[in-house]
């Protein structure tokens, strides 16, 4: 495709409000589908499965691709050595252009993951920057003189900042006689966004991807871009790790950061229909809400961290609703490439639970709470975390985790997508870069596509229901009082439609009276986790319904 000739999204389901109404599917390219036998997923593999994702399949509206840029791969692509090029591991630049065109042809938009807080130490900017203090990139990274020298003549770091990945945050560079800061690996030096040329270079990269047809961006750890200009030490407090023993006052969430996001948005707003979503780094739901603006979403981690109990889920929903209020649009996220898969996480948060029923009920939660759903690949099959022995894990911080640095290994939630029961599970003809789960012979796309009772069938029905029901896309959310301590009840409503959602997240049956005041004419069942086809019959306005453990129901008010 010629530079600047943006491929057009053909008949998308939604227009400029797609970032609000649509569903965004996260692909971890390494684990989606491998076409060249090296056991690592690639861009052609994604192209091969667009029909599975598109309107004739799952029915999502956009794909978010975790990084596929040139990278030494120490943080599996979040250490970028060239932001504008495809890493040969994942294919070619032509493959990328083809992916955009093929996705657009099916009405699927494409969202890229931009890693702009840091680069790889192999990036040419850093290679030059670390050489001396006077080159063109000398001030592109966070360089500082030592605070002094210890009795042995060793340089002392400029302040007390540490790395989120464990250990010191400052790395000594003898060539410059200075330290540089890194929030993550020492091989991921932090950029200095207060240097105007850095902002310009980053925005140029953004413009380049926009010209190639990209529809949106996920911004990696975006609230960490700006640091306090003087880099003061953070205040300290008691905590369970070096990172937690600091109050992160000066290394993120700076007062002038919203202006930077405003400038970033004006680059995107030069064209229509482009969205962005910020990954809040180690921050609260209130910060997420404050940084949310038009067409710019911000993840919050309330539901990603909640236990599978009614009080925990209700509290998470209530906190989100009060933080975002009616005017800011939240996201809905239960899983991603950094956290345990939600079926595993929820099931292990209580006793006596199986993952599949929870996966079905969680699908209802994801598709019916207020906010743009982000669906992590494989969740639609009810995938669980796969046990990976530490020696096979490919998550660097997992290797140095210990009592004072607790780390959840991220490999178990990044395992390959099982497409079929063929050798290599239809993912690869080679040796997969991470192993499959023990249930791969039955938990795969082919098996679930043929089974109308599967979790995949649940997702397909729910996604179709959401697409056909505007109140589920844009309606306000109101939590209701439940009759049973294990029941969660909420409505989604607009001035002319109302949908009631009920869950029993307890281990025993529960009963709930329907709120007649919200629908004097009664209800129609639109979806139930234990029904193959929803019952078309009309339910009386104040009937008492029985809910089995992990059952969820979606009822529409008759008007
Ligand atoms: C984000 C990414 C994570 C990565 C980190 C550093 O949190 O989601 O995978 O390790 O940033 O780039």
Q: Whose CA is nearest to atom 12 of ligand 1?
A: 78
Structure tokens at 197: 């040329």
Residues 6 or more apart whose CB falls under 8 angstroms from that of 498 comprise: 471, 475, 491, 492, 518, 519, 556, 557
Beta pairing class for 497-504 and 510-513: unpaired
Annotated catalytic residue, options 95, 121, 187, 279: 279
Residue 241: exposed, middle, or buried by beta-carbon count in 10 A (0-12, 13-18, 19+)? middle
CA 261 vs CA 19, 129, 141, 358: distances in Å: 17, 25, 20, 37
Q: Does residue 338 have its Cβ closer than 6 Å to ligand 1?
A: yes
Q: Does residue 97 have its Cβ closer than 6 Å to ligand 1?
A: no
Residue 5: per-residue pLDDT: 54
Residue 4: per-residue pLDDT: 47
Q: Whose CA is nearest to atom 4 of ligand 1?
A: 78
Q: How far is the CA of 325 from the centre of ligand 1 (A)?
A: 28
Q: Whose CA is nearest to atom 7 of ligand 1?
A: 221
220 catalytic residue (yes or no): yes
Tell me if 21 sits within 8 A of 59, measured CB to CB: no
DSSP category for residue 367: H
Q: Whose CA is nearest to atom 5 of ligand 1?
A: 78
How big is the chain by its Cα radius of gyration, in Å? 24
94 catalytic residue (yes or no): no
Of 533, 556, 356, give the one whose Cα is nearest residue 456.
Answer: 356
* DSSP-based three-state secondary structure for 101: helix
Phi, psi of 373 (to 5 degrees): -70, 135
Q: Does residue 184 have its Cβ closer than 6 Å to ligand 1?
A: yes
Q: Does residue 80 have its Cβ closer than 6 Å to ligand 1?
A: no
Q: How far is the CA of 69 from the centre of ligand 1 (A)?
A: 14
Q: How far is the CA of 122 from the centre of ligand 1 (A)?
A: 17
How many Cα neighbours within 13 Å face the side chain of 418? 27
pLDDT in tens, the chain (559 residues): 444 457 889 999 999 999 999 999 999 999 999 999 999 999 999 999 999 999 999 999 999 999 999 999 999 999 999 999 999 999 999 999 999 999 999 999 999 999 999 999 999 999 999 999 999 999 999 999 999 999 999 999 999 999 999 999 999 999 999 999 999 999 999 999 999 999 999 999 999 999 999 999 999 999 999 999 999 999 999 998 999 999 999 999 999 999 999 999 999 999 999 999 999 999 999 999 999 999 999 999 999 999 999 999 999 999 999 999 999 999 999 999 999 999 999 999 999 999 999 999 999 999 999 999 999 999 999 999 999 999 999 999 998 998 889 899 999 999 999 999 999 999 999 999 999 999 999 999 999 999 999 999 999 999 999 999 999 999 999 999 999 999 999 999 999 999 999 999 999 999 999 999 999 999 999 999 998 888 778 999 999 999 999 999 999 999 9
Alpha-carbon dihedral of residues 238, 239, 240, 241, nearest 10 degrees?
A: -100
Residue 414: per-residue pLDDT: 98
Q: How far is the CA of 249 from the centre of ligand 1 (A)?
A: 20
Q: Does residue 115 have its Cβ closer than 6 Å to ligand 1?
A: yes
* DSSP-based three-state secondary structure for 373: strand
Could you tell me how many residues make up the chain?
559
Q: Whose CA is nearest to atom 2 of ligand 1?
A: 220
- Alpha-carbon distance of 267 to 277, in angstroms, equals 14
Task: Please report the domains of the chain, with CATH numbers, ordered by start residue.
Answer: 18-117+196-467 (3.20.20.80), 124-181 (3.90.400.10), 475-557 (2.60.40.1180)
Residues 6 or more apart whose CB falls under 8 angstroms from that of 88 comprise: none
Q: How far is the CA of 251 from the centre of ligand 1 (A)?
A: 16
Of 105, 51, 15, 58, give the one whose Cα is nearest residue 473.
Answer: 15
Q: How far is the CA of 112 from the centre of ligand 1 (A)?
A: 14
Residue 96: per-residue pLDDT: 98
Structure tokens at 179: 């330290």
**To test ligand 1's pocket by mutation, which of 29, 64, 68, 75 has the most ligand atoms within 8 angstroms of CB?**
75
Pinpoint the alpha helices (H) of 390-440: 396-400
Annotated catalytic residue, options 87, 192, 215, 220: 220
Q: Which atom of ligand 1 is nearest to the CA of 183?
A: 6
Q: How far is the CA of 221 from the centre of ligand 1 (A)?
A: 7
Q: Whose CA is nearest to atom 9 of ligand 1?
A: 338
Q: Which atom of ligand 1 is nearest to the CA of 184?
A: 6
């Amino acid at each position: 495709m010629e530079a600047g000739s943006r491929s057009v999204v053909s008949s998308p389901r939604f227009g400029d409000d797609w970032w609000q109404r649509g569903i965004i599917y996260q692909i971890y390219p390494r684990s989606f589908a491998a076409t060249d036998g090296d056991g690592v997923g690639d861009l052609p593999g994604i192209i091969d499965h667009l029909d599975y994702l598109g309107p004739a399949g799952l029915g999502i509206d956009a794909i978010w691709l975790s990084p596929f840029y040139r990278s030494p791969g120490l943080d599996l692509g979040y250490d970028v050595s060239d932001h504008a090029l495809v890493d040969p591991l994942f294919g070619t630049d032509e493959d990328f252009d083809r992916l955009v065109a093929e996705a657009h042809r099916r009405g699927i938009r494409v969202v890229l993951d931009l890693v702009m807080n840091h680069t790889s130490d192999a990036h040419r900017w850093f290679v030059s920057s670390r050489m001396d203090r006077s080159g063109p990139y000398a001030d592109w990274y966070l360089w500082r003189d030592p605070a002094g020298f210890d009795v042995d003549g060793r340089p002392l770091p400029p302040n007390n900042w540490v790395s989120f990945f464990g250990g010191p945050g400052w790395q000594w560079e003898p060539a410059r006689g200075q330290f540089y800061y890194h929030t993550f690996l020492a091989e991921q030096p932090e950029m200095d966004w207060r240097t105007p040329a850095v902002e310009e270079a980053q925005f140029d990269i953004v413009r380049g991807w926009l010209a190639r047809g990209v529809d949106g961006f996920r911004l990696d750890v975006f609230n960490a871009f700006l640091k306090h200009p003087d880099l003061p030490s953070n205040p300290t407090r008691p905590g369970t790790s070096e990172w937690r023993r600091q109050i992160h006052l000066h290394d993120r969430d700076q007062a002038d950061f919203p202006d930077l996001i405003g400038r970033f948005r004006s680059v995107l707003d030069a064209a229509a229909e482009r969205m962005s979503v910020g990954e809040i780094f180690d921050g609260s739901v209130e910060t997420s809400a404050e940084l949310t603006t038009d067409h710019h979403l911000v993840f919050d981690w309330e539901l990603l961290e909640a236990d599978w109990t009614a009080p925990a889920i209700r509290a998470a929903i209530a906190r989100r609703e009060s933080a975002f209020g009616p005017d800011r649009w939240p996201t809905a996220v239960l899983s991603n490439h950094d956290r345990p898969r939600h079926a595993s996480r929820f099931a292990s948060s209580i006793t006596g639970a199986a993952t599949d029923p929870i996966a079905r009920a969680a699908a209802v939660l994801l598709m019916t709470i207020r906010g743009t759903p982000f669906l992590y690949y494989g969740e639609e099959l009810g995938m669980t975390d796969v046990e990976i022995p530490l020696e096979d894990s490919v998550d660097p911080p997992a290797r140095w985790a210990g009592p004072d640095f607790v780390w959840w290994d991220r490999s178990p939630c990044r395992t390959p997508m099982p497409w079929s029961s063929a050798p290599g599970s239809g993912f690869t003809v080679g040796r997969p870069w991470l192993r499959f789960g023990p249930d791969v012979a039955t938990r795969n796309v082919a098996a679930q596509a043929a089974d109308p009772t599967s979790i995949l069938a649940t997702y397909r029905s729910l996604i179709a229901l959401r697409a056909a029901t505007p109140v589920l896309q844009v309606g306000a959310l109101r939590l209701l009082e439940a009759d049973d301590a294990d029941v969660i009840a909420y409505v989604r409503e607009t001035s002319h439609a109302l949908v009631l959602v009920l869950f029993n997240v307890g281990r025993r049956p529960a009963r709930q009276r329907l709120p007649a005041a919200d629908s004097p004419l009664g209800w129609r069942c639109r979806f139930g986790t234990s029904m193959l086809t929803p019952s078309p019959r009309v339910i009386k306005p104040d009937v008492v319904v029985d809910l089995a453990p992990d059952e969820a129901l979606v009822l529409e008010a008759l008007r």
